[in-house]
Structure 1
Amino acid sequence: MGGSVGPLVAADEYFTHRIVETFASVSQTDHSWTEKVCLMAAARDGSLQIGFGFGKYVNRNVVDGYAGVARGTEQWTVRTSRELAADPDSVDVGPIRYEILEPLRLIRVVLELNDVQPVAFDLVLQCTVPCVTEEREDRRNLTRYRRTVDRIRYHQAGVVAGPGVETEATR
């Protein structure tokens, strides 16, 4: 008997497959294949900014993330990574967590209190307008035989609610 199948994960229980494979696998072997989320939130008066990102590199067996807060001339950033295979279903790494509360409408981003930086937040982002997708970015190298970029992004605008941000200065 030939062939192999990726490991089963929770998403395999749903009727959302698009390739003949488990959700633990992607359709190509390129090591740079990644799913990412990047988020930026700011106070209306510009006094505070939050940055958040999460990446899942299936073909590298890596999950990484960053979360940071900037206030005036101060900035705190937490970066972390882990092995994907240790927990392939979770969208968290260390004190950084990303939760989908309602697809394409409500997400939650969390930076828990940690030993790295004296900052934490727990915010819910609510979409105020529908998501917008960019045109597909499809690039090839100079000889045009190798695809170097095949990417689709979408953008979502909204407002933030939550208990706020805690820093060493606000404790």
Structure 2
Amino acid sequence: MLNKLDDYPIHQTPEPIAVLATSDRNAYDRTWFNGYAADGSYYFGIGMAVYPHRGIIDCAFSTVRPGERQHCFYGSRRAPDERTDTSVGPFRLEVVEPMRRTRVILDDNASGLSCDLTFSTRTAAIQEARQTLWSGTRRIMDATRFDQFGRWSGTIHTPDGDIKVDEDVCRGTKDRSWGVRRMGEPETGGAPNAPGAFFFLWAPIHWDDHITHAIFFDGTRGEALVREGFIAPMYASEAAVPGVLDGREHRMATARHRVVYVPGTRLAASAEIDLVDLDEKVRTISLDPILKFQMKGLGYGHPVWGQGMWKGELEIGGESFDPLQLDALAPENLHVQQIVRASDGSRTGIGVLEQVVIGPYAPAGFTQFLDGAK
């Protein structure tokens, strides 16, 4: 089974590119973006992924503005044999120039949501450490991820009016990841397993001339499973970015986090992140949320449009909801991103704080699967 990528010298095994090195049904390959105005006046998210062993490609686009509904588009179809085909109905993702420029187009459709957006990078690619999580003796996540920070331009049409996206004010993050992680319909058969706990925090921040980034996976006692922090230069234009990997990112020795939760919920009211350098010097970043985005709008935990779920040969859908009127402790509403204002005492920045906490988590006082903060 050959496709266009087989004409490039990129093979990692003796098999064609379409044949994965793993037979795990949860293998995936995802492109994900966010975009947001520096003043918090809008946020949008984009996701597209292929699940080769599930035979599915799906996508989503969602946006929200303060005081308005969050609007969502979802699409899913049978995955094509041609891996360079990243279209799903009215949605398509075009890699204009690898690791520099990407265009996302959503044509008019029944959801009332459409866009024509271009992402232009302002950083070289930053590779996060390989992320491997276990459930007993089984890997439930084994993935590689890289991030790029940049600007957006274009237009978004929503049922509540249009958004002009100007690169002078719209920041964003590109997130490419691939490997294996749980998704889609749950597996059946075998001995039943107790519900798993999960803690994840992800905080990419734009400053005037650089970026900071921190990634956390914790166990139920707060023990570090994955902790990383980065500082990297941000360039004035896409043309000024020197290459795919410029080698100028500074990897911290470790990172720490402190989260204050909204009472009765698992939503961050504020947070602090410590970037700890090799010489033990600490840079503390305070984060103040200003706009909430529900990640179920991109399929994360969605009961109907969850990622990697078989919907048929081609199916599209959409919905709108008020994010302030949702049950904050319903499982599908726990996963959020919030636009945050950032400060380290001498500088200010803008970015996002992504969080999801499921099950017991001792540092927050969570003892049940879905209890809220006291």
Using the aligned pairs only, state the percent identity.
27
Aligned to 1:148: 140
Aligned to 1:135: 129
Rounded Cα–Cα distance in structure 1 between residues aligned with 2:132 and 2:83: 28
- How is 1:30-45 mapped onto 2 (pairs within 5 angstroms)? 30-45=24-39
Secondary structure of the residue aligned to 2:40 is: coil
Rounded Cα–Cα distance in structure 2 between residues aligned with 1:170 and 1:141: 45
Aligned to 2:90: 95
- How is 1:24-103 mapped onto 2 (pairs within 5 angstroms)? 24-72=18-66, 73-85=68-80, 88-103=83-98
Q: Flag the structure with larger Rg.
A: 2
Residues 35-63 of structure 1: per-residue CA shift (max 9 Å, x gap): 01111101222111111000100011100
Alpha-carbon distance, 1:87 to partner: 5.4
Secondary structure of the residue aligned to 1:55 is: strand
Q: How high is the TM-score relative to the length of structure 2?
A: 0.41
Alpha-carbon distance, 1:169 to partner: 3.9
Q: How high is the TM-score relative to the length of structure 1?
A: 0.87
Aligned to 1:121: 115
Aligned residues: 161
Aligned to 1:4: none
Segments of 5+ residues of structure 1 without an aligned counterpart are 1-6
Rounded Cα–Cα distance in structure 2 between residues aligned with 1:15 and 1:125: 27
Q: Cα–Cα, structure 1 residues 85 and 109, in superposed 2: closer, same or farther, change >3 Å?
A: closer
The CA RMSD over aligned residues, in Å, is 1.7
Alpha-carbon distance, 1:21 to partner: 1.0
Alpha-carbon distance, 1:148 to partner: 2.8
Secondary structure of the residue aligned to 2:6 is: helix
Aligned to 1:112: 107
